[in-house]
Copies of this chain bind each other. A is one copy, B any other.
Amino acid sequence: MIREDLRGRMRSLARAGREASRAMARAGGARKDAVLFEAARLLDERRKNIMEANDRDLSAARDAGMDSAKLDRLALTPAVIDSMIAACREVAGQDDPVGAIESMTKRPNGLMVGRMRVPLGVVCMIYESRPNVTIDAAILCLKAGNAVILRGGSEAFHSNQALGKVLRDALVSQGLPADVAQVLNTTEREAVSHLLKLDDYIDVVIPRGGEGLIRAVVEQATMPVLKHYKGVCHLYVDAGADLDQALHIAMNGKCQRPGVCNALECLLVHESVARSFLPRVAEGLGAAGVEFRACPASLPLLGSGAREAAPEDWGHEFHALVLAVRVVSDMDAALAHIAAYGSNHTEAICTRDHARAMRFLREADASMIAVNASTRFNDGGQLGLGAEIGISTSKLHAYGPMGARELTSTKFVVLGEGQVRN
């Protein structure tokens, strides 16, 4: 009986999202931006209220023995609130993706045919501890003219309710339905299972979190899933590469922010440069605290910070100052290693050879391929998309960083003067 109720509640909620999405799809860019500016204003005005809600979550989490790294991610500090406010304003400043008509062409019968950008409809976000995702993800959905259903971690329940109220009040202030943004007001796990079957009302689900969460969503969802599993990024240093440049790129990839998905996890080095390059890697990255997991050929060249790689070190996302290193006989071997162990996230080559640069661009299979640049550039802001909702590592719909444009689709528009088909 209770289960049936929960299913019914989720169905009502999803249907309300679908209804509200129609009004949102019709809202002009100026009105959507006004919602975002109002959300920014309310976030500022309600700092105290938001931090109180967050304190309730934090103290419950502390009582439950949450570790300090997780508590850190859960905390809505003044700086995190500032960053949410800045995100609202930044997204408001972007062009409205909706309604643009791309490349109107004329068919032989005089029909004008183009593609008009339209919202996806209803986006469901399922995410883990960071409550700021509630704002950062929702505002991109809204900018793209979608309704959004948000389900954060149960440990952030009160924080997410407070942030959801900001979004709803901002929508209503501009004459839009509050249900354009809905934060689930239950922490029951089964609520998600019910939502994931409602493909009549929900167009896409975007999970953000660990592999377990994403896998569970993929297995249950009957609607499309935009997912980002992990980033196992490689840098291949080619024969004849500029080794100063290669060192600079390897250092940036591994050390600048080792915990993120576009950080470098594995260095592949052509055998002809291994002897000259790897001792410099050992010195430069070693001084920054990097440990190495080395193949037998690279091990003697990497000094005391290295130990032999175990099989599971290939294809591993270390999320730390650890780098796998392998000497390869040629580019075929480098590409084969990437095909076997890469995660379709980011792959980079350092080379002076034009033909090999072009071949690597074509053949390495990842959402971003870099020639003579750091893997760390795989990011919506760095690539010119503005804020992002995640990085898709599967190829359907979006591959790579997803900004507001990736939360839209296109429909065909046909302008005629009475044409019919023969």
Q: Which residues of A line the B interface, CB within 8 A?
A: 22, 25-26, 99, 105, 107, 111, 113, 116, 118, 120-121, 199, 203-204, 218-219, 222, 224-226, 242, 245, 248-249, 251-253, 256, 339, 357, 361-363, 365-374, 376-378, 382-384, 394-397, 399-401, 409-421
Expressed in whole angstroms, the Cα–Cα distance for A22 and B338 within the complex equals 12
**Set B105, B218, B252, B415: member contacting A420, Cβ < 8 A:** B252
Cβ–Cβ < 8 Å partners of A245 in chain B: 418
In the complex, the answer to whether B222 meets A218 with C-beta atoms within 8 Å is yes
Cβ–Cβ < 8 Å partners of A376 in chain B: 420-421
How distant is A240 from chain B, measured CB to nearest CB, in Å? 15
Cβ–Cβ < 8 Å partners of A411 in chain B: 365-369, 399-400
Ranked 7 nearest A-B pairs via Cβ: A373-B416, A252-B420, A395-B409, A376-B421, A368-B412, A397-B397, A245-B418
Chain A interface, DSSP helix/strand/loop, else mixed: mixed
In the complex, the answer to whether A222 meets B222 with C-beta atoms within 8 Å is no
How distant is A177 from chain B, measured CB to nearest CB, in Å? 15
**Set B371, B384, B420: member contacting A107, Cβ < 8 A:** B384
Number of copies: 2
**Set B224, B252, B373: member contacting A225, Cβ < 8 A:** B224
In the complex, the answer to whether B248 meets A420 with C-beta atoms within 8 Å is yes
**Set B249, B384, B419: member contacting A377, Cβ < 8 A:** B419
In the complex, the answer to whether A396 meets B399 with C-beta atoms within 8 Å is no
In the complex, the answer to whether B382 meets A203 with C-beta atoms within 8 Å is no
In the complex, the answer to whether A414 meets B22 with C-beta atoms within 8 Å is no
How distant is A241 from chain B, measured CB to nearest CB, in Å? 11
Closest to A421 in B: B376
In the complex, the answer to whether A361 meets B116 with C-beta atoms within 8 Å is yes
- A/B interface sample: 12 pairs, CB < 8 A: A107-B384, A226-B396, A248-B420, A367-B412, A368-B412, A369-B412, A371-B414, A372-B418, A373-B417, A374-B416, A374-B421, A396-B396
Cβ–Cβ < 8 Å partners of A199 in chain B: 218
Cβ–Cβ < 8 Å partners of A363 in chain B: 25-26
Cβ–Cβ < 8 Å partners of A22 in chain B: 339, 365
Expressed in whole angstroms, the Cα–Cα distance for A45 and B151 within the complex equals 59
Known: A111-B377, A218-B199, A421-B377. A224 touches B397 (CB 8 A): yes
How distant is A239 from chain B, measured CB to nearest CB, in Å? 18
**Set B224, B361, B399, B413: member contacting A369, Cβ < 8 A:** B413
Cβ–Cβ < 8 Å partners of A377 in chain B: 111, 414, 416, 419, 421
Cβ–Cβ < 8 Å partners of A226 in chain B: 396
How distant is A95 from chain B, measured CB to nearest CB, in Å? 15
How distant is A359 from chain B, measured CB to nearest CB, in Å? 9
How distant is A414 from chain B, measured CB to nearest CB, in Å? 4
Closest to A360 in B: B413
How distant is A3 from chain B, measured CB to nearest CB, in Å? 19
Expressed in whole angstroms, the Cα–Cα distance for A419 and B409 within the complex equals 33
How distant is A229 from chain B, measured CB to nearest CB, in Å? 11
Cβ–Cβ < 8 Å partners of A113 in chain B: 383-384
Expressed in whole angstroms, the Cα–Cα distance for A25 and B362 within the complex equals 9
Expressed in whole angstroms, the Cα–Cα distance for A379 and B51 within the complex equals 54
In the complex, the answer to whether A395 meets B105 with C-beta atoms within 8 Å is no
Known: A25-B365, A382-B421. A370 touches B224 (CB 8 A): no
In the complex, the answer to whether B107 meets A372 with C-beta atoms within 8 Å is no
Closest to A374 in B: B420
Expressed in whole angstroms, the Cα–Cα distance for A102 and B111 within the complex equals 26
Expressed in whole angstroms, the Cα–Cα distance for A77 and B203 within the complex equals 41
In the complex, the answer to whether B224 meets A368 with C-beta atoms within 8 Å is no
In the complex, the answer to whether B400 meets A203 with C-beta atoms within 8 Å is no
